[in-house]
Structure 1
Amino acid sequence: MSGFGLLSIILSYLVGSIPFGLLLSRKSGIDIRSQGSGNIGATNVTRLLGKKLGALTLLCDAGKGFLPIACLSLCTREPLVLGLAGAATVLGHMFPVYLGFHGGKGVATALGLFLFLDPCAVALALLVFLIALWRTNYVSVASLAASASLPLWIWILRGSSWHIPLALVVMALIWSRHRGNIERLRQGTEKPWKKV
């Protein structure tokens, strides 16, 4: 791999590591890492600080998945570089160097990444997310279902061949980061999105 490719992957990771949820919540005086689920992502921000700040966090976290791959695609079409750089943004959110490698679940950043690569597949995965959320009232279940469906949608829609393995890797990472949620779902202690 060229020096350019390696630098691109490192920069993508560093962008992905920016903890927007934590940065945006600072003015509130609440450390989102010590309250709620302790996650730095949009779901926890929404629960603790409201929909507006949660939506802004979602937008920023998705943006750090979208922008690096969009900029990099202007410079290279090499699938290996693009794929590794894309995965690096998601890994950066999950394991941010700025926070001692303790980050979020990576769903919003993956959303941004594939919104650039396969927007139609993302639209269908978002539909799966909304249906799963409506039926179960758990964001974790919706996130797991959407991430699992994404490689399938890319395949059905005949996206680029290297997008499928990238989606499978991202799906595995997301599922790995949701191990605690999966265990709480099994125990019946997972927090629902809305109280019923």
Structure 2
Amino acid sequence: MISDLTNWQLTLPIALLAAAIGYLLGSIPFGLILTKAAGLGDVRKIGSGNIGATNVLRTGNKKLAAATLLLDALKASVAAWAVSYFFGHEAGLIAGFFAFIGHLYPVWLGFRGGKGVATYIGTLLGVAPLMMLAFAVIWLATAFITRYSSLSALLAMLVIPVTLWILGEEKVAAVLAVMSVISYVKHSANIARLLNGTESKIGAKG
């Protein structure tokens, strides 16, 4: 199984092209674009300060938050689907990964973006659709019980790579595991607030 992780069929030019396509799509800051277009100002100046759907929800506009979630997920899915169609599954996996990176570190915003939950889901939809459903179930169940969006995402991002590995999807599991670790780092402040009981719950305004 471990040997499969080093047995990639991609050529370097294709890998670089997949990474570039993924990054450019992933770096589109839909949360910021939608809130500014709606006259709600700069979403980076409220709540957690990031550009993702959870922070958009703190504006009080549920429709914009839902649209942000959908678009942030789809930019990763489209990257993975399009690149997979032309260059194969491995290239699509690379594109999905770099869409995630682009969302977290968009060059247009000084490399200060979101925390990657929606693009993580979108990558799953693009490369392992059934696992996207599993992520959604874990997230919804945890959110229903705790009302913490961050905890829901963190738990799902812990379970998904392990499940993929058990199912024999070593490459996808490895890439998703790296994404989980990066997102955990991006959620470090949320983790600290969860531990001391000061984390904002779903629906709380910023």
* Fold match (TM-score > 0.5): yes
- Quick one: distance in 1 between partners of 2:193 and 2:120? 23
Name stretches of at least 5 consecutive residues in structure 1 with no aligned partner. Answer: none
Whether contact under 8 Å (1:125, 1:153) holds in the other structure is: no
Between the two proteins, what is the percent identity of the paired residues? 38
- Quick one: distance in 1 between partners of 2:143 and 2:200? 13
Deviation string 1:87-125 (CA, Å, 9 cap, x unpaired) is 111010001101000000001011011112111122112
Residue 57 of structure 1: aligned partner? 68
Q: TM-score normalised to the size of structure 1? A: 0.92
Whether contact under 8 Å (2:139, 2:153) holds in the other structure is: yes
Whether contact under 8 Å (2:89, 2:127) holds in the other structure is: no
Q: 1:100 is aligned with what amino acid?
A: G
- Quick one: distance in 1 between partners of 2:168 and 2:61? 36
- Quick one: distance in 2 between partners of 1:159 and 1:47? 39
- Greater relative CO, 1 or 2 (CA 8 Å, sep 6+): 2
Deviation string 1:124-175 (CA, Å, 9 cap, x unpaired) is 121111111122111010010111111123234x253311101111111111
- Quick one: distance in 1 between partners of 2:195 and 2:202? 17
Residue 105 of structure 1: aligned partner? 115
**Aligned ranges for residues 10-159 of structure 1 at < 5 Å?**
10-27=20-37, 28-77=39-88, 79=90, 81-156=91-166, 158=167
The SS at the match of 1:112 is: helix
- Quick one: distance in 2 between partners of 1:159 and 1:51? 38
Whether contact under 8 Å (2:57, 2:203) holds in the other structure is: no
Residue 7 of structure 1: aligned partner? 17
Q: TM-score normalised to the size of structure 2? A: 0.88
- Quick one: distance in 2 between partners of 1:29 and 1:119? 34
Q: After the TM superposition, which segments of 4 or more aligned residues of structure 1 sit over 6 Å from their partners?
A: none
